[in-house]
Chain A
Amino acid sequence: MRKLIPALLLSVFAAAPALADVTLLNVSYDVMRDFYKDYNPVFAKHYQAKFNDKVTIQQSHGGSSKQARSVIDGLEADVVTMNQSTDIDAIVDKGRQINAGWEKKFPNEAAPFSSLQVLIVRKGNPKGIKDWNDLVKPGVQVIVPNPKTSGNGRYTFLAAWGYAAKLPGGNDAKARDFVTGVFKNVPVLDAGGRAATTTFMQRNIGDVLVTFENEAEMIAREFGRGGFEVVYPSISIDADLPVAVVDKVVDKKGTRKAAEAYLQYLWSPEGQEVAAQNYLRPRDKAVAAKYAKQFPAVKLFGIDEFGGWKVAQKKYFDDGGIYDQVAASIAKR
């Protein structure tokens, strides 16, 4: 009986059209802020026009894993938009707020756009950095965020690994030596991608910053285009940026319709266009063709070559994993 009355009330409110104000909380990672700042008003307008409902979107940004942990511990996010699927899988496994199979709910394994790791060097490229193998040269300082705490750093680690493993005669042992060489040249290990950029641009430390392609555009907007150059390596890793509806929260709040529409709209031409404007590589063929100029073709390999994120996370980045061993061997030298 006690549950009946709220249920009745709820149905009354749900039935009343046009009056429902929906508030969604999008828990996202550091560098997505600029994209969602542009996307949220576009979506709100679309939603209002289609359903005659007003939708307000709140944002929370931070390191990808830190944000996932907040959701696990009870931050009531309606949707999560992360930079790697492990963070969403963690919510599935540890918090059970998201149902398994989330990656099948939307096209492209639930990743509406992608990015890749690029090399950002100082104006005029004084150290002549062209590709990954230039990062292990003595005297080259590399700025990378910490792979333990940052998805951005993990993509860089795997990109460098993949490059070395795919060279003629490459294998895991050589890849490991190569990655050790790269991380030996890292003078500062920031907790997140944003802090790494600050170290490189604001503090003027390092010769090359390895980060997402879309982050390069943000640097240009904030620091001006004169101070740096973007170098596309011969091969890089395809960083799919997945999204998911937080089932437990939307069912409790009754916001499933709006939350699903919010994510679905990311695949619409309008959403894809906003993504392309923010230098995120769109899935939509027409939008991709329109913005082809700003996305040079780069040979890419995917996380599936490492057995998917679940396997890769455990093998490379969990405590005692390969990254820890690499870090320990560097410290001992």
Chain B
Amino acid sequence: MAFKQHSVLPGFKLSLGYTLLYLSLIVLLPLAALIIKTSNLDWSAFWTIVTEPRVVASYKVTFGTSLLAALINLVFGLLIAWVLVRYPFPGKRLVDALVDLPFALPTAVAGIALATIYAPNGWIGQWFEPLGLKIAFTPLGIVLALTFITLPFVVRTVQPVLQDLEKELEEAAASLGATRGQVFYKIILPTILPALLTGFAMAFARAIGEYGSVIFIAGNMPYVSEITPLMIISKLEQYDYLGATAIACVMLAVSFALLLVINGLQWWTAKRLGRRK
């Protein structure tokens, strides 16, 4: 669509101006404060803080558990989306609505509830305790909380794409003798792949920043189950503002990079779907 067609509409300057102003005030200025505060550190001091062994261990915990949670949701999210779109079953509407629960339920409530259930004497934890498997207060507990928090992402990005998937292609492939497995790998998967990856990346991005639900269930053992946001809080509690902002800057950079990846993926999704139209 050409630029000129749009220019008949009013309010461009007003809406864009307001958007930029509000964005700057609420988001950019405070984030700039963070970066400027951190720039009080010289490079080597900054590097020492953000590569301190305990902080590095927390990156490993944060990224490792987030990756695992996102992977779990990649598999089960796809499965749930598939079942919701393709198979009829009673109570489907209810299940569909429930998928969004983690968006709506405050994370602190989720953390307390999960810790209660999966503690060694909790409803579910007690069945794992005799097996020697501890869930709450170990990295496994973190994975659990993050899986809960990020469950809707993959489902909600894949679902609409599956819904719009044209049956004709599958039918044509099947009539040419393709097995169901071949149809899935050759036709369905390539179509939903961008959406699947977008959902995965969004889940991952959300998981690495999560704090509220995780601290209740993590156990917070140094080098084992300390997450990076906890390191920021811990620095703050030692009145080490520069240390806290340095780590916060690292997290900010990662978040921003992930967002760029996500937007790239979304552009890819749009292109792919656009071509099929």
A contacting B, Cβ–Cβ less than 8 Å: yes
**Which B residues are CB-close (under 8 A) to A133?**
none
Stretch at the interface among B20-28, B33-41, B192-200, B233-241: B233-241
Stretch at the interface among B94-102, B154-162, B220-228: B220-228
Q: Is the CB of B119 within 8 A of A205?
A: yes
Minimum CB–CB distance for B53 against chain A, Å: 6
Kindly report which residue of chain B lies nearest to residue A72, judged by CB atoms: B239
**Which B residues are CB-close (under 8 A) to A199?**
137
Which residues 317-333 in A have Cβ within 8 Å of B in the complex? 317-319, 324, 327-328, 330-331
Q: Is the CB of B237 within 8 A of A187?
A: no
Pick the residue among B122, B220, B236 that contacts A190 (CB under 8 A): B220
Judge if A127 is at the interface, Cβ distance under 8 Å.
no
**Which B residues are CB-close (under 8 A) to A317?**
238
Pick the residue among A63, A94, A202, A205 that contacts B237 (CB under 8 A): A63
Q: Is the CB of A188 within 8 A of B239?
A: no
**Which A residues are CB-close (under 8 A) to B57?**
331
Kindly report which residue of chain B lies nearest to residue A183, judged by CB atoms: B222
Interface centre among B57, B223, B243, by most A CB within 10 Å?
B223
Q: Is the CB of A149 within 8 A of B234?
A: yes
Q: Is the CB of B137 within 8 A of A324?
A: no
- A324-B54 in contact given A204-B120, A319-B243, A331-B223 (Cβ < 8 Å): yes
> A33–B53 Cα gap in the complex (Å)?
37
Q: Is the CB of A187 within 8 A of B137?
A: yes
Q: Is the CB of B121 within 8 A of A204?
A: yes
Pick the residue among B52, B136, B215, B221 that contacts A203 (CB under 8 A): B136
**Which A residues are CB-close (under 8 A) to B240?**
319
Judge if B209 is at the interface, Cβ distance under 8 Å.
no
Minimum CB–CB distance for A149 against chain B, Å: 5
Kindly report which residue of chain A lies nearest to residue B215, judged by CB atoms: A191
Q: Is the CB of B222 within 8 A of A189?
A: yes
The contact size tier of chain B is: 20 to 34
**Which B residues are CB-close (under 8 A) to A190?**
220
**Which A residues are CB-close (under 8 A) to B53?**
328
Q: Is the CB of B237 within 8 A of A65?
A: yes
Kindly report which residue of chain A lies nearest to residue B237, judged by CB atoms: A65
Q: Is the CB of B220 within 8 A of A188?
A: yes
Q: Is the CB of A189 within 8 A of B220?
A: yes
Minimum CB–CB distance for B242 against chain A, Å: 11
Judge if A300 is at the interface, Cβ distance under 8 Å.
no
Judge if A61 is at the interface, Cβ distance under 8 Å.
no
Minimum CB–CB distance for A93 against chain B, Å: 8
Minimum CB–CB distance for A238 against chain B, Å: 24
Q: Is the CB of A148 within 8 A of B234?
A: yes
Q: Is the CB of B236 within 8 A of A327?
A: no
Pick the residue among B115, B219, B238 that contacts A65 (CB under 8 A): B238
**Which A residues are CB-close (under 8 A) to B115?**
203
Pick the residue among B219, B223, B233, B238 that contacts A327 (CB under 8 A): B223
> A331–B223 Cα gap in the complex (Å)?
6
> A148–B230 Cα gap in the complex (Å)?
11
Q: Is the CB of B223 within 8 A of A205?
A: no
> A187–B223 Cα gap in the complex (Å)?
13
Which residues 214-269 in B have Cβ within 8 Å of A in the complex? 215, 219-224, 233-234, 236-240, 243
Minimum CB–CB distance for A328 against chain B, Å: 6
Q: Is the CB of B119 within 8 A of A94?
A: no
Q: Is the CB of B120 within 8 A of A69?
A: no
> A204–B54 Cα gap in the complex (Å)?
28
Q: Is the CB of A90 within 8 A of B239?
A: yes
Judge if A28 is at the interface, Cβ distance under 8 Å.
no
**Which A residues are CB-close (under 8 A) to B233?**
149
> A188–B215 Cα gap in the complex (Å)?
11
> A203–B52 Cα gap in the complex (Å)?
32
Q: Is the CB of B219 within 8 A of A189?
A: yes
Pick the residue among B219, B223, B237 that contacts A148 (CB under 8 A): B237
Judge if A248 is at the interface, Cβ distance under 8 Å.
no
Judge if A146 is at the interface, Cβ distance under 8 Å.
yes
> A188–B236 Cα gap in the complex (Å)?
21
Interface centre among B57, B222, B236, by most A CB within 10 Å?
B222
- A327-B137 in contact given A204-B121, A318-B238, A319-B238 (Cβ < 8 Å): no
> A188–B120 Cα gap in the complex (Å)?
13
Judge if A66 is at the interface, Cβ distance under 8 Å.
yes
Minimum CB–CB distance for A318 against chain B, Å: 7
Pick the residue among B136, B221, B238, B239 that contacts A189 (CB under 8 A): B221
Minimum CB–CB distance for A203 against chain B, Å: 4
**Which A residues are CB-close (under 8 A) to B222?**
189, 324, 327-328, 330-331
User: Given contacts A203-B120, A203-B136, could you give 14 more A-B pairs where the C-beta distance is less than 8 Å?
Assistant: A66-B237, A69-B237, A146-B220, A149-B233, A149-B237, A187-B221, A188-B137, A188-B220, A191-B215, A199-B137, A203-B121, A205-B137, A319-B238, A328-B54
> Can you list the 4 inter-chain pairs with the closest CB atoms, starting with the nearest?
A331-B223, A65-B237, A327-B222, A203-B119
Q: What is B's interface to A at a CB cutoff of 8 Å?
A: 52-54, 57, 115, 119-122, 136-137, 215, 219-224, 233-234, 236-240, 243
17 of the cross-chain contacts (CB-CB < 8 Å) are: A65-B237, A65-B238, A66-B237, A148-B234, A189-B220, A190-B220, A191-B215, A203-B121, A204-B120, A204-B121, A319-B52, A319-B240, A324-B54, A324-B222, A330-B222, A331-B57, A331-B224
